[in-house]
């Protein structure tokens, strides 16, 4: 990761902050995007003098474009763009309002789309680059029904990620596109969910943000298309989709768990 220029959205806390500090500690130059100026500045300070904090709202295309310009003005290139900004929700499908669903798609899908579309011309010009979209186990399996619209948004993000990867492969084999799927992460994600929610930091067995950041760092160093942050998670997904009757599979553990993954 030494000397790579890495842009990270949602960098003022949680996974984004942990990844920023880890990458900077390994010699990367990091560009940090988030709305919270004070918290973003604190993360940047921990990353060292070369870190570039950009106060920006990833759900605004013009903010993302401005961040791209700032990154290129400072470092003259971008090697990796990590779309990490996101927010959860606590609402069953039967309870969802238009505003609930629209926000989930804006924060979890369109923010990543804006990032991908902003950096792609630069990557194409260079013939190389790496987009990493931070998804979720809930983008693969309905493990927490109260996260319904978040789950739907992450499914959509997974589809965009895979389609972009296939779009680019013939003409731009040097541009990698990856999805990373955490489970429950011990951050403020739960309490910051739309309509509130359980504190993810109090859920037994939650991964630390640093553990997830380590997995993402591994993807940066050794690009792969689709990565899970927990041992056995991929096998669980495969078993679910291979089930003869997915409805019957959903009546067994882990679907009975009240846990709401990241």
Distance between CA atoms of residues 136 and 220, nearest Å: 18
Q: Which tokens is 28 given?
A: 């990367």
Distance between CA atoms of residues 72 and 236, nearest Å: 41
Catalytic site residue 176? no
Distance between CA atoms of residues 36 and 63, nearest Å: 14
| Alpha helices (H) in 98-245, listed in sequence order | 98-105, 111-126, 148-168, 209-221, 233-242
Q: How many CB atoms lie within 10 A of CB 247?
A: 7
C-alpha 194 chain-centroid distance: 18
Signed CA dihedral, 144, 150, 151, 154: sign only: negative
Distance between CA atoms of residues 10 and 6, nearest Å: 13
Question: Which of these is catalytic: 114, 150, 176, 228?
Answer: 150
**Nearest 5°: phi and psi at 187?**
-130, -175
Which residues, at least 6 apart from 125, have a Cβ–Cβ distance to it below 8 Å?
none
Nearest Cα to Cα of residue 262 among 32, 101, 7, 86: 86
Asked if residue 2 lies in contact with residue 28, where contact means CB atoms within 8 angstroms, the answer is yes
Which active-site residues does the annotation give? Answer: 150
């Amino acid at each position: 990761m030494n000397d790579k220029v890495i842009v990270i959205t949602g960098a003022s806390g949680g996974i984004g902050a942990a990844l920023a500090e880890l990458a900077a500690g390994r010699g990367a130059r990091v560009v940090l995007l988030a709305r919270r100026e004070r918290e973003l500045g604190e993360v940047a300070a921990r990353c060292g003098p070369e870190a570039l904090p950009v106060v920006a709202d990833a759900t605004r295309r013009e903010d993302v474009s401005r961040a791209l310009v700032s990154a290129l003005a400072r470092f003259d290139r971008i090697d990796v763009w990590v779309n990490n900004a996101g927010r959860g929700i606590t609402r069953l499908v039967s309870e969802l309002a238009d505003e609930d669903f629209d926000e989930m798609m804006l924060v979890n899908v369109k923010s990543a789309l804006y990032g991908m579309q902003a950096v792609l011309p630069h990557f194409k010009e260079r013939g190389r680059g790496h987009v990493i979209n931070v998804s979720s186990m809930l983008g693969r399996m309905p493990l927490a029904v109260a996260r319904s619209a978040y789950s739907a948004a992450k499914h959509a993000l997974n589809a965009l990620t895979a389609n972009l990867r296939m779009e680019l492969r013939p003409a731009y084999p040097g541009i990698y596109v990856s999805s990373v799927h955490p489970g429950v992460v011990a951050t403020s994600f739960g309490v910051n969910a739309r309509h509130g929610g359980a504190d993810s930091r109090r859920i037994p067995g939650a991964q630390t943000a640093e553990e997830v950041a380590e997995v993402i760092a591994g993807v940066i160093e050794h690009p792969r298309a689709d990565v899970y942050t927990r041992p056995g998670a991929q096998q669980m997904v495969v078993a679910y989709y291979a089930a003869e009757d997915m409805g019957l599979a959903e009546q067994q553990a882990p679907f009975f768990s009240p846990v709401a993954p990241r």
